[in-house]
Amino acid sequence: MPQDSEQEVRLQFLEEAREHLNTIETGIMGLGTDGVNRQTFDGILRAAHSIKGGAAMMGFTTLSHIAHRMEDFFKVLKVGKAELTDGELEQLLLKSIDLLNQIIAINRQGQSIEEEWLTAHVSPTFDQLHERLGDPQPEDEASLLAEDEGGQDMAVMLFESEVGATLERLEELLNQENPACLAEEFDIAAQELGGLGEMLDMQAFVDLCQSVVDHLEAAEGNAQVEVAHAALQEWKRSQAMVLIGQKSAIPSALDLGLSPTVVPADQQEADAPIPAPAHDLDTADLGLFSSESLFPDAADLESFIPEATEPVQLNAETEWDNLLPEPSEDEAVEAFSELEDFVLTTSEAEEDISIPTAEPAVEPIAAVQQQKKRDSAKAFEPAQEQAAPERTIRVPVSQLSQLSELFGELIIERNGLKLQLHKIRELMGLMGQRVQALDQANFRLRSTYDHASTQSAPKLVAAASGASSPNSDLALTSLADFDLLEMDRYSGLHLLSQELMETAVQIREVTNDINTNLNEADQTARALTVTSKELQTSVTQVRMRPLSDILGRFPRMLRDLSLQHGKDVTLEVIGGSTLVDRSILEALNDPLMHLIRNSFDHGIEDSETRIAQGKDPQGVIKVQATYRGNQTLITISDNGAGINLDKVQARAMQLGIDQETLDAASKSDLLDLIFEPGFSTAGQVTDLSGRGVGMDVVRTNLQNVRGAISVNTEAGIGTTFTLSVPYTLSVVRVLLVESANMLLAFPTDSVEEITLLDPKQVLAHIDQGAIRWNDTVIPMMKLEQWLSFPTPPRQPDTEEAPLINAPMVLMLNKGDDLVAMTVDRYWGEQEVTVRQVEGEIPLPTGFAGCTILGDGRIVPLMDAVGLLTWIEDQQASGSAMPTISRDNLSPEAPEFSNTQPQIMIVDDSINVRRFLALTLEKAGFRVEQAKDGQHALEKLQAGLRVQAVVSDVEMPRLDGFGFLAHVKSQPDLKQIPVVMLTSRSGDKHRNLAMTLGATDYFSKPFREQELLETLHRLVQTGA
């Protein structure tokens, strides 16, 4: 462990010890007059115990020893000698607290504590306390251990004495080689114990005893011995449950799955499961959810503004067409001429554009991204002329790019602000609890103040009688004339008490003011979200235009070509509302026109030929646009004859490529030749094609805007050209999921639905795995099988928890098909900023960039289609990973795939947890922390996977014994090893822990190497 880190933890523990001493001091104030309050002394004992155990672990031996003595005194006061409390005892205890504070101050300064100083200053006070109170007796320890707040002393006493004696007698009987009348003895014991349960109103214990009787009557021969062993184990567990105040965890039926092996009592470990308590939560069947409907109130911090986040289904193309009427050919030529002059007159190297100063808002980006329906042909119909032309200004593209980047930073800061407000809200809730406790203390102080006021009145009158003022006689007469209830008398102590009470009231007022301001800050944050969305729409509107702006003229062009050349061809457009950067959109005009004309000329046959081939007489050219990661994909496909590869090879040989090279070339290599300058397979030159310049121009224009083009063809089926250009949107909505301990972001437009993984729907007999979804069989891939990291990613420390801590299935869109992808957890949906990863090394296939969350975490942005295509290529080439089957799928949260085992530390002292965490992390473990048994149980029930637990015993809400009992009673948790680490070194605590199922037991201070060796052994055994 680094020296500075260890020292920091030690110093912080000393600060924590001071807080514990303040708690003790507050609790014993008024002890001489009010006596012992058991509830108050619970907190005092817990504070003293925390100082003792923590100090021993941190190496503060003297502090631990003195705190131990003080804890013993408090035990005696609570259970046996409360009548000895008086003012003198209260003074001695307060003096002992002062001495502990001095010891803490010496430790903070790094000085050693001299034995002479202890003898001269500390020992006298503690010796006086010892003379008055003595030491706690063994029966005091037992009473403290068994006592609970519900007042179950009678049950504890009976189960410790009567039930204990019965179980010892039955155990001796079982240890005999051939016990006589075994069934009869156990039957009698079951009836006696059942009657005891009825007397104590413990119905679960009564049912357990009746279950034993029923099993004994049904069993014969050796089966009765097995029933007897199981009954003894369950009765002993039930006894332990009563002793620690966990009666709700008592089983109500006999579990014959228990091992019949009997071990000596001093070595006995509880291996049998304890039936789950009645209040355990059932697993909810969440069913199927879409990516937009899943947990609408929790999936995103913006979900409290439905009107700002709900996608609106608009016809974007119609709106755009209303803004820009379709020009005639002459107007188009004139407009492009003006554009060329405009570009040439720009004084800078960057491109200038015209920006409308007032333009109606278009639909949100999320709605545009999610629109997948086929665009109607009426989207290209010209709209009516607007009444007046819009005013425009010139702005360099570089400034728009900078504006877009700044907006992305604004989104990051906005998400961070909302996260901080959420944390402040949680802290205010905690502060409210503290203020409520302060109000209770204020009430007690006021009561004490009123009581002290009535008692101090005679002294006040006596003091007034001795005054030397000329008016003293009059004052004395005035005071004497009033009763105590008729006239308040005040002293300096009373005024100080009144001031303290007023301060408490003022603190609550400040707390209320903070809550009011926090509510206003939340409203401001919500307004900021709305404004940022409007700003996003405006920035997008300025920077980008829908693809339909240039596609609108193509239906008319194709109609004219059909009439001119006698072909029946129609144009279908899907995704015309897809937004493209203005500069890129202009660069796409010529390539798209060339590709459509080539599809018409080379691809689509005439009607007679198509009828002869059994095709529809009408040919179809389809233009489809969509987003994929950080790219915009535009496909131009036709259902014609396809590209004749024989003609391509023949033309390549004419250009000088030898036959051997052509024979070795793949299909994609041959198709790539059509983009070479001067390459054409046309038999003759026409006004449409044959000059060998079209495809070359297409690729050159795309490369100028950092785009690319590819082609695929099938003889007799058709040809598809795929254009990819940069997708310049800086903000997208994503689903945050986790796989192989790595947080990943999938754009929402690539996800059709998200659902819980149901292993029953997995079809294991199909190669590579498949899942049945909505009566359809869909291929399924397990993402973590394809994500390989040289260094296993470590899950960052965060207080947040995933929305769904269970395996999920993403239904990903891949063209017209769906592919199921399994992930480990679902963290929610939010709007994020896209960031490109700069550097010489290209991103792996399937990754489109990254994003930064509000808490600063960097998350990879996934390219779903690219990832699926790469996986399919790997499978086709023989590099497929293991297939998916029901055997390797579970509805439980999966184990971590990295090599570092995870250990949970459960302790109510944050500094003890940090100290242990540093020790375990140095040894190679990953650490999860919980502040008490209840907190730890909630984390485990939520799906947290750990290889072992290290738990303290004495903690608020749910102590270590209660936590151990709950863990061992739940089938999905009972296999987790639990190691107890406590300052309780007595055999009684150890035996109780081992009976409840503890794997090992360590007392503070512990040997670090021994604990680490135990944890390594448990992890290796569990693996």
User: Can you tell me the distance from the alpha carbon of 909 to that of 903, in angstroms, rounded to the nearest whole number?
Assistant: 17
CA 608 to chain centre: 63
Q: For 949-969, what is each residue's pLDDT tens digit?
A: 999 988 888 889 999 999 998
Q: For 251-268, what is each residue's pLDDT tens digit?
A: 888 877 543 333 333 333
- Decide which of 946 and 706 is more confident: 946
Q: What is the pTM of this model?
A: 0.40
**Listed range (188-192, 353-357, 576-580, 763-767) with the worst mean pLDDT:** 353-357
Report pLDDT for 721. Answer: 92
**Listed range (585-589, 678-682, 833-837) with the worst mean pLDDT:** 678-682
In DSSP notation, 900-938 reads: --EEEEE-S-HHHHHHHHHHHHHTT-EEEEESSHHHHHH
Mean pLDDT of the chain: 74
pLDDT (mean) for 685-711: 72
In DSSP notation, 72-106 reads: HHHHHHHHT-GGG--HHHHHHHHHHHHHHHHHHHH
pLDDT (mean) for 928-945: 88
Q: Label residue 790 by pLDDT band (50, 70, 90).
A: low
Q: Label residue 300 by pLDDT band (50, 70, 90).
A: very low
**Listed range (588-592, 838-842, 1006-1010) with the worst mean pLDDT:** 838-842
Whether the predicted pLDDT of 84 surpasses 80:
no
Query: Which residues, at least 6 apart from 918, have a Cβ–Cβ distance to it below 8 Å?
Result: 1, 2, 5, 6, 9
User: At residue 88, what are phi and psi to the nearest 5 degrees?
Assistant: -65, -45
Report pLDDT for 794. Answer: 55
Report pLDDT for 104. Answer: 92
pLDDT (mean) for 461-487: 51
Whether the predicted pLDDT of 938 surpasses 50:
yes
**Listed range (44-53, 457-466, 584-593, 664-673) with the worst mean pLDDT:** 457-466
Which CATH architecture best describes the domain 547-615+637-700? Answer: 2-Layer Sandwich (3.30)
Q: For 437-449, what is each residue's pLDDT tens digit?
A: 777 777 777 777 6
Report pLDDT for 951. Answer: 93
Q: Label residue 720 by pLDDT band (50, 70, 90).
A: very high
Query: Which residues, at least 6 apart from 859, have a Cβ–Cβ distance to it below 8 Å?
Result: 736, 743, 744, 745, 832, 850, 851, 852, 853
For 902-1022, which CATH superfamily applies?
Response regulator (3.40.50.2300)
* Three-class DSSP labels, 523-572: HHHHHHHHHHHHHHHHHHHHHEEECHHHHCCHHHHHHHHHHHHCCCEEEE
The CATH code belonging to domain 731-888 is 2.30.30.40
DSSP H helix total and E strand total for the chain: 34, 26
Whether the predicted pLDDT of 730 surpasses 70:
no
Report pLDDT for 687. Answer: 57
Q: For 556-568, what is each residue's pLDDT tens digit?
A: 788 888 888 888 8
Write out the two tokens for 412.
């990051």
The domain ranges of the chain are 3-136, 153-267, 323-395, 401-542, 547-615+637-700, 731-888, 902-1022
**What percent of the chain is modeled with pLDDT above 70?**
72
pLDDT (mean) for 797-808: 74
Report pLDDT for 100. Answer: 92
Q: For 382-413, what is each residue's pLDDT tens digit?
A: 444 444 445 667 777 777 777 777 777 787 78
Report pLDDT for 979. Answer: 93
Whether the predicted pLDDT of 289 surpasses 90:
no
Whether the predicted pLDDT of 674 surpasses 50:
yes
For 3-136, which CATH superfamily applies?
HPT domain (1.20.120.160)
**What percent of the chain is modeled with pLDDT above 90?**
7
